[in-house]
Amino acid sequence: MPCQFCHHPAFTPVSSKDAKTGQPLPVGMCDGCGLVQVINMPSEEELNSYYREDYRQDYKGVITPRAEHVFRAGNIALERLDLLSRADLWSGRLLDVGAGGGEFTYLASRMGYTATGVEPNKGYSGYAKETYGCDIRTGYLQDIKGRYDIITLFHVLEHLRDPVAAFAHLHSLLNPQGHLLVEVPWIETKDASPNNIFFRAHLYYFSIETLKAAASRHFECVQIDTRANLKILFRSRRVPAMLTLPDSQSVSALRMRLNSKGWMEYLFAGGGLIKPLRKQIQRFQERKVRGLHARSILDRLLSPTRKHCHVHSAQSLPQP
């Protein structure tokens, strides 16, 4: 198949197997635009079935989140909400696509957003509704209707068969000058083990340039955060522009960057040597929440001081 993005026919091989199972998984970098992608793209029907039934169990080993998963996801959700706050996005109608167990949607609601979620996995979406009382629907991006001020996609875009079409649909769901926060694994990161990068559930592996390019027709970049994963905050364009592909210099630079990645970089620059210690500290923290109800875990993370600061700052902002 040609590149799903620019339709160029040639790829440079990047990987040949799934890091989780060891099964064959050809991954290549498009010689035209630099987008790293799986070579044998599954059909839309195959993807929908997998995410509806099997994905969460394959990657978490459970059909609903455990206490440690809730604690972990809650801390990450607060970091993401801080990113929105730093961009002066304190309130409004918020849609979280790929809402998982509902931790982000619940915490966003507690912090003043009118938050809704959509999640394809039946077990996780049902859990979120029952546990948190969140407005989380079982479904896919293409099922969503309505208008929102903010849309978030955390580790969703790399699973979608057509990122450009996804950005077009997301644009149709946003109010004028609405904002879109996207987080994906960053192909250039230093803190990923060379043996733990490519997975069959990921169809694409984005650089800053390829992610900006995929969104370029409908969104302009506002803010970039490359701590571990790649996060880009986009603002909706009033009038669609031309799709802007990475130039040949960007493609060459990315190819050189991928060739330079290796174990020495991961262990020293990427902090791989101290990851076992970090995991031990994380497990110690997570043991403290065992036996607690999921809602109690999130409420403890959302301290009264933090919630008060968020609401106070939101009230102090000029209203549009």
- In this structure, is residue 90 part of a structural domain? yes
Q: Is the pLDDT of residue 25 over 90?
A: yes
Q: Is the pLDDT of residue 310 over 60?
A: no
How does pLDDT run across 268-289, given as a tens digit for each residue? 999 999 999 999 999 999 999 9
Q: What is residue 61's predicted lDDT score, i.e. its pLDDT? A: 59
How does pLDDT run across 248-271, given as a tens digit for each residue? 999 999 999 999 999 999 999 999
- In this structure, is residue 189 part of a structural domain? yes
- In this structure, is residue 104 part of a structural domain? yes
Q: Helix 67-86 to helix 294-301 angle, to the nearest 10 degrees?
A: 40
Domains in the chain: how many in total?
A: 1
- In this structure, is residue 263 part of a structural domain? yes
Average pLDDT of the residues of the chain = 91
CATH number reported for the structural domain that contains residue 103 in this entry: 3.40.50.150
**pLDDT-based confidence at 64, cuts 50/70/90?**
confident
Contact status, residue 67 vs residue 291, Cβ threshold 8 Å = yes
Q: What is residue 304's predicted lDDT score, i.e. its pLDDT? A: 59
CA distance 106 to 65: 15
- In this structure, is residue 85 part of a structural domain? yes
Per DSSP, the residues of 58-118 read HHHSSSS--HHHHHHHHHHHHHHHHHHHHTT---EEEEEES-TTSHHHHHHHHTTEEEEEE
- In this structure, is residue 256 part of a structural domain? yes
Question: Average pLDDT in the 112-120 region?
Answer: 95
CA distance 154 to 182: 6
Which of helix, strand or coil describes residue 206? strand
CA distance 50 to 45: 9
Contact status, residue 35 vs residue 254, Cβ threshold 8 Å = no
- Provide the Cα torsion 119, 147, 295, 139; round to 10°: -10
- In this structure, is residue 166 part of a structural domain? yes
Which domain does 260 fall in, by range?
A: 65-302
Q: What is residue 316's predicted lDDT score, i.e. its pLDDT? A: 34
What is the separation, in whole angstroms, between the first and last Cα of the chain? 47
Tokens coding 10: 């040639």
Q: What is residue 307's predicted lDDT score, i.e. its pLDDT? A: 55
Q: What is residue 319's predicted lDDT score, i.e. its pLDDT? A: 30
- In this structure, is residue 15 part of a structural domain? no
CA distance 93 to 143: 18
Q: Which residue has the higher pLDDT, 124 or 220?
A: 220
